[in-house]
Amino acid sequence: MLTKFRGLSHREALIFKGTKRWAEFSPFIEYSDQEASNWLAAAVSFANQDLPKLHRDTVGVNATLPAVGPDQVEAVLSKFGEFSTVKIKVAEVEQTLINDIARVLKVTSSYPDVRIRLDANGNFSPEKALELLAQIPLDRLDYFEQPCASINELVELRTTIKHLGLKVLIAADESIRKASDPIEVAQRQAADIVMLKVQPLGGIERSLEIARQTGLRTVVSSALETSIGLSQGAYLAAALPELDFDCGLGTLSLMESDITLEPLKPVAGRITPREIEPDAALLQKYQASPERTKWWLERLERCFDLLEA
Ligand SMILES: [Mg+2]
């Protein structure tokens, strides 16, 4: 990673080729086998199944701003090239509300034409989230992603937002890890939008089914994948019948490199879904140590057993 993101300074991924194409299995290290097996279901389906019917040729993507100081904002965002939406990380460890506000205001003043969205990864209380919302230009805000951790808190925050007459949409991200979660979020009216991440939700078909079942608006986001994992997310985004927002699929710009010579990077703020071929020299360059390789292969076997069970 170019900047620490989600507490990570590097990313590990297992990639493999199925009968149809290359696929990526890259659950975060701390995830349980049970959870990781959904990621494997996604990878196996992408490797071996036909691509979905697409509703659009290209997908708009947002830039992503980690919890950096206001003085670093332009340097980090310049890596994204053209963009019309910036997702701003807030509420990270060691960051005060004052830092968060300064970061948001730096973006809105330096980029007067871009839309913003906030992502707190569940780290705010409803009160803190409201404090932040009170101090930023809400007419620039697409939505606030996972302001609080629990569904109860999200419901509480949405109720207060309505009482105050604010126009703020709430998106659920971490609240959605398994396939049944989006339905609960929708039923309890805890969010207006659900983030779809293709690996944790178990693949393109399952994600499309979840979008149908919730009836909520959707945004597709990456899980900090290589171009191979990102391409699966891009096919999902292009296959959704409706898509109103830029997607979080521009995350390669947060990384130092990739394992293909033709990375799935946005052109003029949009990406075009396509299949990705890894490059042998880059694979060799970024090959994991024997210990990490062994760990991943053992994890793969355990998760595969769970798939079959
Ligand atoms: Mg998020």
pLDDT at 3: 77
- CA distances 234 to 42, 55, 112, 120, 198, Å, are 14, 12, 28, 24, 9
Residue 74 half-sphere exposure toward CB, CA atoms < 13 A = 5
Residue 242 pLDDT greater than 80, yes or no: yes
For ligand 1, the distance from its centroid to the CA atom of residue 6, given in whole angstroms, is: 10
Give the pLDDT confidence of 267-292 residue by residue, as tens digits: 999 999 999 999 999 999 999 999 99
- CA distances 112 to 10, 103, 105, 135, Å, are 33, 14, 10, 17
Mean pLDDT of the chain: 95
Give the pLDDT confidence of 138-155 residue by residue, as tens digits: 999 999 999 999 999 999
Tokens for 129, please give them.
């989230």
Residue 93 pLDDT greater than 90, yes or no: no
Of all residues in the chain, the percent with pLDDT exceeding 90 is: 89
pLDDT at 279: 98
Residue 194 pLDDT greater than 90, yes or no: yes
The pTM score is 0.92
pLDDT at 221: 96
**CATH class of the domain whose range is 52-284:** alpha beta
Residue 234 half-sphere exposure toward CB, CA atoms < 13 A = 28
For ligand 1, the distance from its centroid to the CA atom of residue 281, given in whole angstroms, is: 33
pLDDT at 177: 76
What confidence category does residue 235 fall into, taking pLDDT thresholds of 50, 70 and 90? very high
Q: Which DSSP category does 51 fall into?
A: P
Catalytic residue IDs: 89, 197
For ligand 1, the distance from its centroid to the CA atom of residue 146, given in whole angstroms, is: 7
Domain boundaries, the chain: 52-284
Residue 309 pLDDT greater than 80, yes or no: no
CA–CA separation, 134 and 274 (whole Å): 42
For ligand 1, the distance from its centroid to the CA atom of residue 119, given in whole angstroms, is: 6
Give the pLDDT confidence of 4-44 residue by residue, as tens digits: 777 788 999 999 999 999 999 999 999 999 999 999 999 99
CA–CA separation, 281 and 294 (whole Å): 21
